[in-house]
Amino acid sequence: MYPELLDVGTVGQEKRVPFLEYYLRERGSVDHIDNMKTMASPRLMKSHLPVQLFPTQAFTKKSKIIYVGRNPKDNAVSYYYFYKSLAGIGYYKGSWGTFLQMYLNDHVVWGGWSHHCLGWWKHNQEANFLYLKYEDVKKDERGTVKKIASFLGREVTEKTVDRIVKYCSFDNMKTNPAVNRENEPDLDCSVSPFIRKGVIGDWKNHFTVAQNEQIEQYYKERLGNTDLQFEW
């Protein structure tokens, strides 16, 4: 029905799933919002916006929303490498330690981790909202595909689940030019590939004992009295 969505090997991800707040018309790119206006329903779009900046129409019109959160330790490490490779953030040249302090003080693009995760978590009980944790997705990819299909009201065969799991596997996406953004002019993949590791626990290769204690205190203060909890 939508061949451009199925052709995952040749059609770029940004075309299949436009990035809501990504606007580069001044550099010759197409405004993603303009793209969305021409797409047939059902449309797919993505965003990194915190909930307070997200278009309210998505809630009033009961759009289907899927949020994916990740534990703060691995998220901080992943974000550090993204900062280093992205032109829009100035190809960050600072140290890991300095970046971690920025992260813990909410001085990063798209806002602080805890505010972001908790802001969206407030919608967790709404019928049109699905909150996923990256760690759970990694542990059960097939189960996650089925959960998303059920949330979207779609029936999927086991064969279709197999296809989706295959195409969405880390190894496949890392080598897929339609996803890995290796030719993206604003990303320096020689510094850090866009699809980097995708594992749980890479934080252990970066945090000192003191840094780990610091982020665990941050986690306790921000999420300690909430029912939202992550594993690492």
Active-site amino acid positions: 48
User: What span, in angstroms and rounded, lies between the C-alpha atoms of 24 and 58?
Assistant: 23
Nearest to 75 by CA among 97, 107, 54, 103: 103
Helix (H, G, I), strand (E, B) or coil at 222: helix
Q: Is 9 in contact with 37 (CB distance < 8 Å)? A: no
Contact 103, 96 (CB under 8 A): no
Distance separating alpha carbons of residues 110 and 102, to the nearest angstrom: 12
Return the number of other C-beta atoms located less than 10 Å from residue 101's C-beta: 13
**Residue 154 has which token pair?**
């779609």
Report the alpha-carbon angle 214-217-221, nearest 5: 140
Helix (H), strand (E) at residue 77 = helix 72-85
Query: Strand, coil or helix: what is 53?
Result: helix
Helices (H) and strands (E) in the chain, counts: 12, 2
